[in-house]
């Protein structure tokens, strides 16, 4: 009889393929197939109405183990920006390889024939699904464009409101500041207007001249009152 490894029961037996007829194997097989069929049934609900969502690596990077092909399959189809839910599972179930492996799996494990076709997607179903996916993707892109447009309009309105509030604050709370700003701008635009440094130097020069004249007058008065100078003058 020899040894035999059962992938369903995940154990090695020494009774050969007689193991697949055993009660434990068949019980385990029914549990596996019920979960398998339920998962495919959930994906089938999207055949007529595919679901397209914005890609999220925490939700849309799920995998699905196909017992018939012994492969880990991507459950969703994504390009990194958006994801078609269950697209990967449905695409795999429609391949000729999966159909071939499904028939082989059912024969080797003596599974219930009524459940076999429930895990296979026909070519007609695949074509209808592709057509519906194209419509769903187009609708999703239109909604995203509209959302981006609305957000852009909102940002422009917020910026306009901010500018209006800032302008009102300048006009109401800082009128003198605004006047000085306007004066400085007008002076900077006038080529004949003296620079700030020139104005300071002119004011300093006038101040020095005035101070010198005062000192000269104060120092000359005592000498004029001196008797010697008065005699010489006489």
pLDDT digits (tens, 9 = 90+) for 23-63: 888 888 889 899 999 999 998 988 888 888 888 887 888 89
Instruction: Specify if 67 maps to a domain.
Output: yes
Q: Quickly state the pLDDT bin for 94 (edges 50, 70, 90).
A: very high
The two tokens of residue 194 are: 């003296």
pLDDT digits (tens, 9 = 90+) for 99-117: 999 999 999 888 888 889 9
Instruction: Specify if 190 maps to a domain.
Output: no
Instruction: Specify if 82 maps to a domain.
Output: yes
Identify the domain containing residue 108 by its residue range. Answer: 47-139
Instruction: Specify if 107 maps to a domain.
Output: yes
pLDDT digits (tens, 9 = 90+) for 193-204: 455 555 555 655
In this prediction, residues 219-234 reach a mean pLDDT of 43
Per DSSP bridges, beta strands 77-78 and 82-84 are: antiparallel
Which pTM value belongs to this model?
Answer: 0.58
pLDDT for the residue numbered 177 = 54
pLDDT for the residue numbered 123 = 86
**How many domains in the chain?**
1
Identify whether the C-beta of residue 122 lies closer than 8 Å to the C-beta of residue 40. no
In this prediction, residues 216-232 reach a mean pLDDT of 45
Instruction: Specify if 191 maps to a domain.
Output: no
pLDDT digits (tens, 9 = 90+) for 135-165: 888 888 888 778 788 888 888 888 888 888 8
Instruction: Specify if 29 maps to a domain.
Output: no
Calpha distance 168→155 (Å, rounded): 20
What Cα–Cα distance (Å) separates residue 154 from each residue in 8, 147, 160, 161?
57, 11, 10, 11
């Amino acid at each position: 009889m020899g040894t035999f490894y059962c992938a369903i029961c995940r154990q090695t037996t020494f009774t050969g393929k007689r193991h697949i007829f055993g009660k434990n194997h068949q019980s385990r097989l029914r549990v596996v197939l019920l979960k398998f069929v339920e998962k495919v049934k959930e994906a089938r609900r999207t055949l007529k109405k595919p679901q397209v969502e914005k890609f999220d690596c925490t939700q849309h990077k799920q995998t699905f183990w196909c017992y018939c092909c012994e492969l880990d399959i991507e459950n969703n189809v994504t390009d990194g920006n958006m994801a078609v839910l269950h697209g990967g599972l449905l695409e795999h179930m429609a391949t000729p390889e999966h159909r071939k492996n499904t028939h082989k799996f059912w024969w080797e494990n003596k599974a219930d024939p009524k459940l076999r076709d429930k895990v296979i997607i026909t070519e007609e179903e695949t074509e209808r699904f592709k057509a519906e996916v194209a419509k769903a993707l187009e609708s999703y892109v239109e909604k995203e464009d509209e959302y981006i447009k609305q957000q852009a309009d909102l940002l422009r309105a917020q910026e306009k409101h901010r500018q209006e509030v800032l302008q009102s604050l300048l006009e109401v709370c800082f009128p003198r500041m605004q006047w000085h700003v306007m004066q400085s701008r007008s002076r900077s635009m006038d080529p004949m207007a003296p620079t700030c440094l020139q104005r300071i130097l002119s004011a300093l020069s006038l101040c020095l001249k005035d101070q010198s004249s005062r000192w000269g007058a104060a120092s000359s008065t005592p000498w004029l009152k001196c008797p010697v100078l008065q005699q010489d003058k006489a």
